[in-house]
Amino acid sequence: MIPDRFEYVAPSSVAEAVGLLQRYGAEAKVLAGGHSLIPLMKLRLASPRYLVDINRIRGLAQLQEDDGTLGVGALTRHADLETSELIRSRYPLLADAARVIADPLVRNMGTLAGSLAHADPAGDWGAAMLAVRAQVVATGPRRDRTIPIDEFFVDTFTTTLGPDEIVSEIRVPKPSPRSGGAYLKVERKVGDFAIAAVGTYVVLDEKGACRQVGIGLCNVGATSLRAKRAEETLRGRVPDEKAIADAARAASEECDPASDLRGPAEYKRDLVRVLIGRALRRAVQRAKGGA
């Protein structure tokens, strides 16, 4: 479990970090929490020549609301989200998700930005961010780019991020009135990547119909997935048992899981159905003011 040789650099500003990435190109990797990258390096499945450690850069660990969005910094750890009063009181989906990622040790180090940049289909934040329609702010040599999460994931471990860009911030829209969210995960043990997990976000109108619906799916495809058909099934409808069941079925049909040790594809599809049902019920309940 000894990684290949690499050079370690620790820039003190984002500009410096980007400069290093520009210089080293695909040979370099950003090091954030290290809890996805270092395991791969120890197995020599990944052997970057340069590690650009962004942990010394100040001002990247924010977690605050400003006009219209919640800003999550590149060094904001899973544990920061898990323990934040702001997140607990206003972003139930994020609070749910933070609690079920890995174990406390990993949560103390791992970052939301790193999780998205890593683009592991089993990453919980990918599904959560798809459900809430987050935006990824990428800082490169030129201007910052704001990438809608829907356009961010390309393939397993692959994003639209350029080799000389770093994720500097994630922006999550502030919750609307009468909104609620939930994140549910089935895992083989605490700290395990999901067998399947789902994030649901709903905004109800005055009549109690779904004005907005966001559904993200974890570990049931080559990337984190948005369940677009399930969202459409529900949009504009009052989320009664029938509507929820229709959405759950749609999601289970549109996901694309592979059979593996966690279970056959049919099981994962069914799990998506069950979890979407439960998570939608909980999101709706929360939108109506319940816990």
Ligand X SMILES: Cc1cc2nc3c(=O)[nH]c(=O)nc-3n(C[C@H](O)[C@H](O)[C@H](O)COP(=O)(O)OP(=O)(O)OC[C@H]3O[C@@H](n4cnc5c(N)ncnc54)[C@H](O)[C@@H]3O)c2cc1C
If residue 185 lies in a helix (H) or strand (E), which one and from where to where? strand 179-187
Partner interacting with residue 160 (select from ligand X, another protein, none; CB below 5-8 Å by kind) = none
173: exposed, middle or buried (Cβ count in 10 Å: 0-12, 13-18, 19+): middle
Contact 51, 28 (CB under 8 A): yes
Strands 50-53 and 7-9, how do they pair? Answer: parallel
Partner interacting with residue 144 (select from ligand X, another protein, none; CB below 5-8 Å by kind) = none
What CA–CA distance (Å, rounded) separates 112 from 255? 23
Place of tokens 């048992």: 241
What CA–CA distance (Å, rounded) separates 247 from 223? 20
Which residue, 166 or 248, has its beta carbon nearer to ligand X? 166
With CB under 8 A as the contact rule, the residue among 13, 267, 281, 285 that binds another protein is: 267
Residues 142-161 that bind another protein (CB under 8 A): 155-158
Of the ranges 122-130, 146-154, 207-215, 229-237, which one interacts with ligand X (CB under 6 A)? 122-130
123 binds another protein (CB under 8 A): no
> Which of helix, strand or coil describes residue 251?
helix
What CA–CA distance (Å, rounded) separates 83 from 179? 21
Which residue, 98 or 287, has its beta carbon nearer to ligand X? 98
261 binds another protein (CB under 8 A): yes
Q: How far apart are the first and last CA of the chain?
A: 45
Which residue, 63 or 274, has its beta carbon nearer to another protein? 274
Partner interacting with residue 150 (select from another protein, ligand X, none; CB below 5-8 Å by kind) = none
Minimum distance from CB of 50 to another protein (Å)? Answer: 12
Partner interacting with residue 234 (select from ligand X, another protein, none; CB below 5-8 Å by kind) = none
Contact 77, 109 (CB under 8 A): yes
Partner interacting with residue 271 (select from another protein, ligand X, none; CB below 5-8 Å by kind) = another protein
130 binds another protein (CB under 8 A): no
40 binds another protein (CB under 8 A): yes
Place of tokens 């799990």: 271
117 binds ligand X (CB under 6 A): yes
- What are the CA-CA distances from residue 96 to residues 115, 128, 161 (Å)? 16, 10, 27
Q: Which residues bind another protein (CB under 8 A)?
A: 1-2, 4-5, 29, 37, 39-40, 43-48, 103, 118-119, 121-122, 155-158, 186, 188-193, 195, 221-222, 256, 258-264, 266-267, 270-271, 274-275
